[in-house]
Structure 1
Amino acid sequence: MTGGGVDCSIECTGSTQAMVSAFECVHDGWGVAVLVGVQSRDDSFKTHPIHFLNERTLRGTFFGNYKPRSDIPGVVEKYMKKELELDKFITHSVPFLDINKVFEYMLRGEGLRCMIRMDA
């Protein structure tokens, strides 16, 4: 369908099978796969080594490669000015005392973006 593979693929689901598919569908010689999704801690990524030998590139990013010290203050400023609408993306909001619930949500695949409140 693509004549040998796609130039670039981006995986955002966290599914290990989708990660493998994203990598294996890129073009030999110049294709780049970028993994963004976060998989379960017990999953492993398995593919045949020939895909690397054929000069495909696999890249990953964690939190979009944000640099917290320099990037987060700008995001907070935009949020405070109502230029950035983040509230609709929060899946759960829990007080700090219930922080363990956040980990339970993540392990079940339910807590995509949890906010931990520092109130009592």
Structure 2
Amino acid sequence: MKKLRLTLWMIPLAIILVACGGNEYETDIESVIDHHRDVTMYLDETRKVYEVRENANVVVYDEGKYITLSFIDPEDETEGRQETYEKVGDSWTQLKQYESEKLLNKTPDYQEQLGKSI
């Protein structure tokens, strides 16, 4: 009887834990997008409106140390320039284009397209 009660209690607990499990890079992705929007000088108000996660392609490398962003303009559906950021302590540093080329040969840890995991 004790095993039955324990089993019946464990099933809902397991379902809850699985449902709560999300993307382990969630906070890093949100953080780097906010950083990108804060430091990118060329952004006018029009671009700030569409440079959000739902319009982004996101690639995470080296367990979240590097994150590459590119945003899709919803009006003409063109993808903008890829920007790669490196996590240094609690902040982000933008890499130069040639510095981020070394990541092209690596397998991404996580990828997201237009806000959805792929």
TM-score, normalisation: structure 2: 0.21
Q: Judging by fraction of residues, say which structure has more strand.
A: 2
TM-score, normalisation: structure 1: 0.21
Q: Judging by fraction of residues, say which structure has more helix.
A: 2
Greater relative CO, 1 or 2 (CA 8 Å, sep 6+): 2
